[in-house]
Amino acid sequence: MSTLSAAVLIKEIALGIVDLFYPTKCVVCDILGPDIICPSCKANLYKLVPEPYCLRCGQYLIGDECLKCVDYPINLVRCRAMGVLDGNLAELIHKLKYREQPMLAAPLGSLLADYLTVRAEIMNELRFDGIVPVPLHKSRERTRGYNQSELLAKELSRRLNVPTLSRSVKRVRNTKQQVGKVRSERLNNLKGAFEADPMLCVGKTFLLVDDVSTTGATISQCAEAMINAGAAKVYAITLASG
């Protein structure tokens, strides 16, 4: 038996032992099965953002015009959120970001791809040159061990057959946490936080990917850096809005 064949056999045996003593169970309902999120829970995982919503930023619309876009225009052609930040979806995003469960990015990214290709009107027939995850500062990424947005972007890339272009934009300033800040404070906090590479951006149409959009400040500032670097158009999609 060759060294390679022996290594493959050992790996298969090890995986079999893991499956025997630690069988996969759904992270939502705890039912044993082959999937991290079982089909039943996937079908009822999130609620769509209620209508009416702003056709530009994707946030719930109160009145005839989006006050968020009027007061602080976003640098995006369109932004959509797969669902509302609530219930099981909110819990899974929290686990993905803060509970060291990067394996959740694959099923959540797959759901995001389904949403983009079926339900995200105006965006589902677009052709993107690249999918770009909203970057973390390198110090925060080292602490967490991964960038959850990049993991989501890679799953989208696999499903949509569009390259992930993570190096198009980077986070050059480690900003304070955005939790608890209003939109104007979030925008000020993020000023100059992102830097895009003109060599990778000029003339291209991008799809930005993030886990959550609360006020749109982060993706807006990220998109601004890309537009300033010569990007033709920037769209965005997130798992949740809230």
Q: In this structure, are 17 and 107 located in the same domain?
A: no
Q: In this structure, are 101 and 188 located in the same domain?
A: yes
Q: In this structure, are 7 and 52 located in the same domain?
A: no
Kindly tell me the sign of the dihedral angle through the C-alpha atoms of 117, 120, 125, 130. negative
Q: In this structure, are 17 and 79 located in the same domain?
A: no
SS (H, E, C) 135-190: CCCHHHHHHHCCCHHHHHHHHHHHHHCCCECHHHEEECCCCCCCCCCCHHHHHHHH
Average the pLDDT over 69-81 and give the result: 80
Answer with the residue of higher pLDDT: 155 or 188.
Answer: 155
**How far is residue 208's CA from residue 238's CA, in Å, rounded to a whole number?**
8
Residue 22: predicted pLDDT: 53
pLDDT-derived band at 15, boundaries 50, 70, 90: very low
Q: In this structure, are 6 and 123 located in the same domain?
A: no
Q: In this structure, are 27 and 79 located in the same domain?
A: no
Of the candidate ranges 76-80, 105-109, 204-208, 232-236, the one whose mean pLDDT is the lowest:
76-80
- Name the region of 100 (left: φ>0; alpha: ψ -120 to 50; beta: rest): left
Q: Which two tokens stand for residue 151?
A: 């993991």
Please tell me whether the overall predicted TM-score, pTM, comes out greater than 0.85 for this model: no
Residue 18: predicted pLDDT: 47
Domain that includes residue 94, residue range: 48-241
**How far is residue 56's CA from residue 64's CA, in Å, rounded to a whole number?**
13
pLDDT-derived band at 67, boundaries 50, 70, 90: confident
Number of domains composing the chain: 2
Average the pLDDT over 9-17 and give the result: 55
Residue carrying structure tokens 């669902």: 83
Q: What is the identity of the amino acid at 187?
A: L
Residue carrying structure tokens 């886990």: 211
pLDDT-derived band at 5, boundaries 50, 70, 90: low
Q: In this structure, are 18 and 66 located in the same domain?
A: no
pLDDT tens, residue by residue, 18-32: 455 556 789 898 888
DSSP state of 104: G
Indicate the burial class of 176 (C-beta count within 10 angstroms; 0-12, 13-18, 19 or more).
exposed
Write the DSSP assignment of 38-84 as a string of letters: -HHHHHTS--PPPSSB-TTT-PBP-SSS-HHHHHS--S-S-EEEEEE
Q: In this structure, are 161 and 181 located in the same domain?
A: yes
Q: In this structure, are 19 and 87 located in the same domain?
A: no
**How far is residue 192's CA from residue 221's CA, in Å, rounded to a whole number?**
8
CATH number of the domain to which 98 belongs? 3.40.50.2020
E strand or H helix at 228, and its extent? helix 217-228
Answer with the residue of higher pLDDT: 54 or 120.
Answer: 54
Average the pLDDT over 63-81 and give the result: 78
Of the candidate ranges 27-41, 56-70, 164-178, 190-204, the one whose mean pLDDT is the lowest:
56-70
